[in-house]
Amino acid sequence: MKSFFRALPLSATAVLLYLALFKVLLHLATAGNYGYFRDELYYVAAGERLGLGYVDFPPFVAFVAAATRAALGESLVALHLPPALAGAAVVVLAGLMARELGGGRLAQGMAALATLVAPSLLVMGTWLSMDAFDQLFWVSACYVLLLILKRDRPRLWLLFGLVAGFGLLTKMTMLHFGFAVFVALLITPARRHLRTRWPWLGGAVAFAFLLPYLFWQVANGWPTLEFWGSYGGKVDGASPLEFLVEQIVTMQPPTLPLWLAGLWFYLFSREGRPYRALGWVYAVLFALFLMLGSKFYFLAPAYPMLFAAGGVVAERFFARRRWGWAGPAYAAVLAVSGAVVAPITVVPLLPVGTLATITGGVGGDAGIQQETREVAQLPQNFADRFGWEEKAATVARVYERLPAEEEEVVCVLTGNYGQAAAVDFYSEELSLPKAISGHNSYYLWGPNGCSGEVVIALGVPRERLEAVFREIETSDTARCEYCMPDEDDLPVYVCRDPKMPLREAWPLFKHYD
């Protein structure tokens, strides 16, 4: 075994590839330990209804979901492969940015390792989500921007626009990133680029990618604006100090010296003067997301460029003092902290009962809360992997108890997209009809020909049902252990004798949030 490890290449490139490979294997090895995440079931449902846009996200992730299912199937391992690969690419790009800044193997390895262990970056490889690809396109754009600033190759703005275009097809936070880049260029000597045609042509390339989504918005009455108008109530607001603490904690506290050194390098050091714009990109984004009350992890893709510069600063600092031990020691601290924190915050590695005992003792989320939803034993990113199969099974029990003539006309109506997507996902296995819901894109997908004559309702407030149906019977209760509290103990109703056709009543069930 020792001879095997001695034979391994240890070049800077090899180190980056080892860390990237470890990340992919970690995600695939743990993919099946818990269950399907709420949002990835929604993206799978969107992949069955491909279009130019959706109420709460652009179309890229739906196409990834559809392509993955067609090529690899719908197992947890299959669905988690694309985000795992995206996250591995981010790890490599962090190291490559350190290389472009003049860093050697130690600097590149520290940048990549910090990116690997940062919880807000690591977590997005654990389920199929738009955020995994959002992070990839952000970091790719940062890498291209670094090349532009270093090599003064203005035609690279076209590549920047291409990457940003894919980012816009993935998540609208790319607009924030683009705004930050524009401001950073204006307030630094890099503004000379704006006096050429290339950044504007790059912007035109990015905008071309956005056009189909804008067309879809116009055709559907700008639903995403309505969604964002009501979304703020879901986000757990934070003061400036709380937002900063969230950044420190969710990027892994031992990485703090590294990213602060990186920020200092860009903003204040003589060596970092050509890259000053990158430091301002981070500063503008921090202020912007703080003012908008955004979720703390929206800023996560801005950190790999800081890790890259911080790795260069640390490598040179250790070399000047001839502290040959310091680099490996710091890398060991990062690795150990990642190994300790990841299983209790982001990676589904521990038995769920053990995890619940640990996290339940600190209130489930230890005070780092993404949304205003109540948590119990598990943090939301774990709890939202439980209960979906049980809900579908409960609906199936109710369905099987219906008279045969009602089974022919019954519809399944749910209160939110997670419940609807779960019923959809397990519908073939459980011989259920596809679900309908008034939540987000499910509302636009409509009642799917449902007359409303007989409806099984899961998670829909009774008062909303009473406005549409004369007869409402409680038939069962959907229960789940370890799930989010608002998804437990949900009554399942059988509704009959509608006061109006369901198509006419459909707007009563609409909610974008």
pLDDT at 4: 47
Residue 294 CA to chain centroid, in angstroms? 13
Backbone angles phi, psi at 371, to 5 degrees: -130, 175
d(CA 435, CA 431): 12
The three-state secondary structure class of 385 is: coil
Instruction: Give the model's pLDDT for residue 9.
Output: 78
pLDDT per residue, tens digit, the chain (513 aa), is 455 445 567 899 999 999 999 999 999 999 999 999 999 999 999 999 999 999 999 999 999 999 999 999 999 999 999 999 999 999 999 999 999 999 999 999 999 999 999 999 999 999 999 999 999 999 999 999 999 999 989 999 999 999 999 999 999 999 999 999 999 999 999 999 999 999 999 999 999 999 999 999 999 999 999 999 887 666 666 788 999 999 999 999 999 999 999 999 999 999 999 999 999 999 999 999 999 988 999 999 999 999 999 999 999 999 999 998 999 999 999 999 999 999 999 999 999 999 999 988 766 565 455 555 677 789 999 999 999 999 999 999 999 999 999 998 999 999 999 999 999 999 999 999 999 999 999 999 999 999 999 999 999 999 999 999 999 999 999 999 999 999 999 999 999 999 999 999 999 999 999
Radius of gyration of the chain (CA): 25
The angle subtended at Cα 337 by Cα 481 and Cα 106, nearest 5°, is 140
Beta strands in 362-479 (DSSP E): 411-414, 435-437, 454-458, 469-478
Q: Whole-angstrom Cα distance, residue 259 to residue 306? A: 5
- What whole-number distance in Å separates Cα of residue 58 and Cα of residue 60? 6
Q: What is the dihedral of CA 218, 222, 224, 230, to 10 degrees?
A: 180
Q: Within 10 Å of residue 426's Cβ, how many Cβ atoms?
A: 20
Return the pLDDT at 7.
57
Residue 229: what pLDDT? 87
Burial 158-185 (b: 16+ CB within 10 A, else e): ebbbbbbbbbbbbbbbbebbbebbebbb
E-strand ranges in 429-468 read 435-437, 454-458
Per-residue pLDDT at 368 = 53
Domain ranges of the chain: 13-345, 352-383, 388-509
Q: Which pLDDT score is estimated for 6?
A: 59
pLDDT of residue 232: 64
pLDDT of residue 373: 63
Q: Which residues of 300-320 are buried (b: 16+ CB within 10 A; e: fewer)?
A: bbbbbbbbbbbbbbbbbebee
Q: Could you give the CA distance from residue 277 to residue 186 in angstroms, rounded to a whole number?
A: 9
**In the β-sheet with 454-458, what is the strand arrangement from edge to edge?**
435-437, 411-414, 454-458, 490-498, 469-478
Cα–Cα distance measured from residue 79 to residue 68, given in angstroms and rounded to the nearest whole number = 6
Amino acid at 29: A
